[in-house]
Structure 1
């Protein structure tokens, strides 16, 4: 009996520790503004066992946003350029729409770096995988993250969830 219980606990803990693909977490019409709001679940990019960056994609009507969270006490100023290296070697530069100032480790999970996407950015993210992300910070230097093979299609997958009119390239 103990073996069965321990096996069950081990199975549950191993399944919950794996990162899940982004799913559509919000898909509703705001009752006051009548805007269609879609948002994917948060996905974590890891370097080994350490989480380096979280992301999700949000759309409000025709406006799309790529949102990041750095799980460290970092300062990122409005207008900072986040660089995404695409699978074809081209770069996509995203400009942050807001300031992030985390004073200590207790407030790191509350703030998302918001980057507005234009039509060219949306098309690039739907048609290519992201292989590397570079996030400059004011106090911790530059966060460079080379994505693992399993993480490369995740931003593309999330973009496809919030942009049903735009078909992802196979």
Structure 2
């Protein structure tokens, strides 16, 4: 969460990390994640919209702010308080504010990392809480096509409520692909 707060501060505070003014952008995206662990068979789809970005002076770093909506389906298997395994159906829908840092490695190639506090319509994953943090990281390529700009990326994702290990924090991890389109203003 500290990364997300730092990015939000850089975008909207007078924080010296990002002294250029934030600019409006119109970028929409779709993200699809498959589970990494056999006991967390959650399939996630995210719809994203990035609305603001800010270039960090003197660095190849851009801070971005957006919204994310998530649909989850699947099930998890976890230990209960009595140390027996239990399989729980774990669908859910979540909404969050996403703070992303984009490090430009070279023209058209960058590394992205994001954090989003999420609010779910039920305890998610099953047995957890309504509130979670979602973290993503991975490489992306960007190219111009027609009037807009496309981004294709690979991502690792982690969702957790930060309560440590155990039945109160049924975290999940996934790997997936990201496709985004930035409209010209």
Q: TM-score, normalised by structure 1?
A: 0.32
Is the helix fraction higher in 1 or 2?
Answer: 1
Structure number with the higher strand fraction is 2
TM-score, normalised to structure 2, is 0.30
